[in-house]
Chain A
C-alpha cells in the first residue's frame, strides 16, 4: 500500500466512523527501511496497513498506536535503540477516534434542545436508543422515562442520564428499583443529568448536560483499557500483546517483536528465559 493509498484508506475509515491510528514517518536516520513520508494505518486489533519500517519499528508503532487509541493523544515515537542496526526512525502517531454517539430519547423540548447543541459541537446524535451509543440521555418528561432508562442501563452505554427535577429523579430511581433494576446499574444513572450550574432555561439545561458529558468522556482516561504489553526477552523491546508472535516455554507465554526473535528464543530458550513475559 503506497502512502497515498494509506490516506485514501484513512479517509474511508474516518468517513465510516471507525477508530484507527495514522502513523507517519517524519524522520529517518540511515540505515533504515522506511523513508520520510511513509505511512500506515493501525487498527484497534493491532493490524497494520501500509509501511512504516519493518520489524524494527512496527512493533513499537503498534504498541504506541494502541495506547494513543486508548488515551486519545497524538504522540511522536522513536525506534532509537530498538534495532540491531544503527538506524532509527521517528514516527508521528495520530489517533482518529469517531465523535461520540449520544442517544437522546424523548420528544420533549429539552431533548430537542440538547440534540441541537450536541450536533453543534459535532457529536453524533441519534434520537432513539441505540446499542452503539456511548451515552444515553433520557428526556421524555414522563412519557416513558422508566422504560427507556431500564433499557439503557442494561446496555453498554457508559453514560446514562435522566433530565428531570431532583424530586422526580428520586421517584424514577425508586420506581426502577421496585421494577428490579440492580443497584450497580442504578449507580451508573446520572440523575438529574447535568452539572449543577443552577440552570433555568432549556438552553442552559442543555449546556449543563453537555458539559457533564464532556467531563465524563475525559474522566475515563484512558478511555479504553490500556493494551497489555510484554517485553521481548530476546531484544528487550516492549511490544503489545495484540497480534505479537508468542511462544510458550515451561508454562510461561513469551511475546516477541517479530518471528526473528521468536526463532532465536525457540533455539535456546534457557538463554532468554530470565526476562519473563508479563
Chain B
C-alpha cells in the first residue's frame, strides 16, 4: 500500500470517495505479496495493482460495487484444487483480496505515520460481524504483513536500520544488497580516508567515527542488522561489546577462523558470556563458498533473511 499512499492521500484531500482492494493472503506463487493495494476512485481512476494484471478487471468490478454502496467483501481468485488444472494457469497461485470503502481518517493517520517514520500497523477485520472495521495502532517490534484469523495486519514501519562497520570493499557490496532488502544503510569507519562518498555512493549515511562510540548513540531495535567488517580487534572488540548490549536482530562479524577464535577469547575475557557470544554470526554469512565481495554480500543477505525468518538453514 505504501506505493499508492501518496495518491490515496491526494484523493482524500480532494474529498474523493474511493475503494481499496488489498491482497490479504496468497497461496502458492502469487505475483504480489500481501499488502499490495489496488485503489479505485469514484471518478474511475485506478492506482496500484494486486496481481500485476491477472485479476485486475474483476477486482475493478468489485470495487465499483462497493463504491455503489455494496458491503465490504473478501474475494478469492485462482484455481485452488487439482494440480493438473493448475499447470498452464495463466496466473499461478491463489490470491485472497479484501475490497472495501476507504476511510479518510485511516489514510490520513497512515500517511502521517509514514512521514514521521513512526512504526504503525493497519488492522482490518475482513470477516464476521465487524467486517470492514479498521484501525491504525502503534507497532512495537516486528509484524509480518498478513492475515491472522479474521484480522489483516499491514505493517507500516520505517525501513529497518543496517549498520555496516569498516569501510572496506565488502562494505560497499553489503551496503548495496542491504539497500536492496529495504534497509536504511549506514556505513561507519574511524578512518576518513576510507569512508568517502566516492567509495560509497549509494549508502544513506556515511559516518566517520569510532564504531563503538557511534553505535552507542545509534537507534537499534529488533529489526536492526549490524555487520562488523572491520576484522581488526582494535575496532571490533569494543564494537561487538556495545552491539551485544542492543536488541539487534542480527549481528555478524567478519574474520577468518583464527581471527574469530582469538576475538571470542578476548570477548570472553572482557566479561561477555557464552550466551551473548552465540548471538554473533561469525564468520559472517552463510557458507556458500563466496569469494568476491559481492558474493560475500549475498551470503550475508541470505543469513540475515534466514535469521529474520528463524528458518532452519542447511549447514
Contact = CB atoms under 8 A, between A and B. Distances in A.
Listed residue (A141, A170, A219) with the most chain B CB atoms within 10 angstroms of its CB: A141
Contact of B311 (A197, A210, A211): A197
Interface residues on B, range: 35 or more
Q: Main secondary structure on chain B at its contact with chain A? A: loop
A171 B312 CA distance: 25
A197 B87 contact: no
Measured as residues with beta carbon below 8 angstroms from the partner, the interface class of chain A is: 35 or more
A146 interface: yes
Given A171-B83, A197-B309, A218 B176 contact: no
Interface stretch (A26-34, A115-123, A126-134): A115-123
B29 A195 contact: no
Contacts of A164: 28-29, 92
A141 B309 contact: no
Contacts of A208: 302, 305
B295 interface: yes
Contacts of B93: 141-142, 165, 168
Q: Which of A143, A195, A210, A214 has the most CB of B within 10 A?
A: A214
Interface string A197-232: 111111110111011101101110100000000000
A202 B144 CA distance: 14
B305 A204 contact: yes
A121 B297 contact: yes
Interface stretch (B109-117, B265-273, B283-291): B283-291
Contacts of B305: 197, 199, 204, 207-208
Interface string B215-244: 000000000000000000000000000000
B55 interface: no
A175 interface: yes
Decide if the interface of chain A is mainly helix, strand, loop or mixed.
Answer: helix
Contacts of A199: 305, 309
Contacts of B180: 116-117, 120, 203, 206
A168 B84 CA distance: 10
Contact of A198 (B27, B92, B286, B310): B310
Given A120-B177, A217-B289, A108 B52 contact: yes
A261 interface: no
A160 interface: no
Contact of A197 (B83, B90, B313): B313
B314 interface: yes
28 contacts: A108-B31, A108-B52, A109-B52, A110-B31, A116-B180, A122-B292, A141-B29, A141-B92, A164-B92, A167-B28, A167-B83, A168-B28, A168-B83, A168-B92, A171-B83, A172-B87, A196-B312, A197-B309, A197-B311, A198-B306, A198-B312, A207-B181, A207-B298, A211-B286, A214-B288, A214-B299, A218-B291, A219-B289
Interface of B: 27-29, 31-33, 52, 83-84, 86-93, 144, 173, 176-177, 180-182, 286, 288-292, 294-295, 297-299, 301-302, 305-306, 309-314
